[in-house]
Copies of this chain bind each other. A is one copy, B any other.
Amino acid sequence: MTRQITLSKAVNEAIAEEMRRDPSVILLGEDVAEAGTPFKVLSGLVEEFGMDRIIDTPISEPGFMGIAVGAAMTGCRPIVDLMFGDFLYLIMDQLCNQAAKTHYMSGGKLNVPLVLRTNMGATRRSAAQHSQSLQALVAHVPGLKVAMPSSAYEAKGLMKTAIRDNNPVVIFEDKLMYNDKAEVPEEEYLIPFGKANIKREGRDVTLVATSSMVQVAEKAAEILSRENISAEVIDPRTLVPFDEETILQSVKKTSRAIVIDEGHQSFGVTAEIAARISEKAFYHLDAPVIRMGAMDVPVPFSPALEDITVPTPDGVVENARRICRGELVHAA
């Protein structure tokens, strides 16, 4: 049985199901209880699970992140709600120096099973400190797993897997997708980490896209199909672990790749994926791998500027045309 639910509802269900299943799961964050977060993603949870498990915190991101690490080390499985991904900068020490390294530094004796759920995504007119997509930063830090759901279906399945994982997992939800609906089974399911999803099969070019960029890629693929360019769309689903195999296989078939991610382009996610493809599918590539990240500028407030900072279907289409027609995107 399937039905259409929003991404917001999918996250809510995943957390509710896991909290029913495992009493050690607790959730902390700002205005998560009665208010159910500003995005209303957690509405109803405090009514079912009570204030002991859905815990409103003061505006102390480093503090409650640190508390979650300690709780995770001593028998709880905390979910930390970080209202905006931009606030990651505030909790990096607790996340990257503590949570990420504890298992390793203790020689495998201490575990830190926690989920940090936060968001990403621009074009919401929220300006430079509420619009960043900072997945590259956490993906760089060994000891953290990183999931990037691209629809309600992924959001639910990846969240459930994250909560059961014995490691710190960071999940980035695209805040513009909270109301997007997708088919989500009534029955329980989990989505394993490290398995990419081939969203659409194609022969001519591989579009590797993360989070909402999967939609961008799909729209581009649709347009391209009318021009007889057959694009394969792949969603890695998790950046760490990363399913290199599925992507390399696709590129070996199509010989061309475009990588799309909403983080800043330089030193970002597209660099890693493009570098891997370029290295490991080197003899199969007919054209350079094209990277499409967000512009390397702080996110501007003005709608006139903000919209041009992120990859669009048209942009993808144009790049796909060029490499499929053998035009060099970057003149050598």
Contact = CB atoms under 8 A, between A and B. Distances in A.
A59 interface: no
Given A270-B275, A289-B278, A101 B139 contact: no
A137 interface: yes
A78 interface: no
A95 to B, nearest CB: 8
B271 A267 contact: yes
A189 interface: no
Contacts of A105: 127-128, 298, 301
Contacts of A329: 279
A295 B263 CA distance: 24
14 contacts: A90-B93, A97-B128, A97-B129, A104-B300, A140-B264, A142-B296, A142-B298, A271-B274, A275-B275, A275-B291, A278-B278, A278-B288, A280-B330, A283-B332
A269 to B, nearest CB: 7
Given A266-B272, A272-B275, A278-B278, 4 more contacts: A104-B297, A105-B301, A139-B267, A142-B297
Interface string A66-106: 00000000000000000000111110110111001100110
A5 interface: no
Contacts of A104: 128, 297-298, 300
Q: How large is the interface on A (under 10, 10 to 19, 20 to 34, 35 or more residues)?
A: 35 or more
- Which residue of A88, A278, A332 has the most chain B CB atoms within 10 A of its CB atom? A278
Interface in A109-153: 127-129, 136-137, 139-143
A298 B97 CA distance: 9
Given A86-B97, A93-B90, A272-B271, A288 B280 contact: yes
A284 B332 contact: yes
- Which residue of A88, A89, A90, A330 has the most chain B CB atoms within 10 A of its CB atom? A89
Contacts of A332: 252, 280-284
Contacts of A289: 275, 278-279
Contacts of A283: 328, 332
- Which residue of A93, A127, A289 has the most chain B CB atoms within 10 A of its CB atom? A93
A80 to B, nearest CB: 16
A290 interface: yes
A207 to B, nearest CB: 16
Given A104-B297, A105-B127, A279-B278, A136 B86 contact: no
Contact of A298 (B101, B136, B240, B242): B101
A291 B267 contact: no
A290 to B, nearest CB: 7
Contacts of A285: 282
A330 B279 CA distance: 7
A329 B104 CA distance: 29
